[in-house]
Amino acid sequence: MTTTATKPKARQKVSLQPLDDRVLILPKEPEQAMRGGLHIPDSAREKPTQGEVLAVGPGRFERGVRVQMDLRAGDTVVYGQYSGTPYQVAGDELVIVKASDILAKIG
C-alpha cells in the first residue's frame, strides 16, 4: 500500500499591512479525528483559536512613543475564539486581531 504526501497549499504573498497594534493571522483548522464516519457541518464546528502570523502592524502609540510589537511574521499564536475581524484574501480566510486579543505565542 502506498501513501501519497499532500503538499501544503502555496500561499500567495499578502499585500495587506495591519495598522497600529493589529496582527494578520491565518487560522489553523483543528485536526478532525472522527470515528464512525460522522460529518460535522461547518456551521457546527468551533472557530479555530490558533494561527500563523502573516503580518504585524508597527505598534501603538502610548504617550507619544510607539510601543513595538512582540510578534513577528511566522509566529504561531493562540487568540480568543471570537476575536478579530474575518477578511477574505485570494481565497484564504484571514483574521485581523488586536494585539491585546492574542493570548500566547507558541514556541
pLDDT at 89: 84
Give CATH for domain 22-29+46-106.
Answer: 2.30.33.40
Domains of the chain, by residue range, sit at 22-29+46-106
| 49: Cα within 13 Å, side-chain hemisphere | 10
pTM greater than 0.75: no
- Is the pLDDT at 73 greater than 60? The verdict is yes
Q: Residue 15: its pLDDT value, please? A: 81
DSSP three-state, residue 74: coil
List phi, psi (to 5°) of 22. -105, 155
The 3-state DSSP class for residue 8 equals coil
* 9-31: pLDDT as tens digits: 545 566 889 999 999 999 987 66
Residue for grid cell 471570537: 82
Q: What mean pLDDT value characterizes the chain?
A: 81
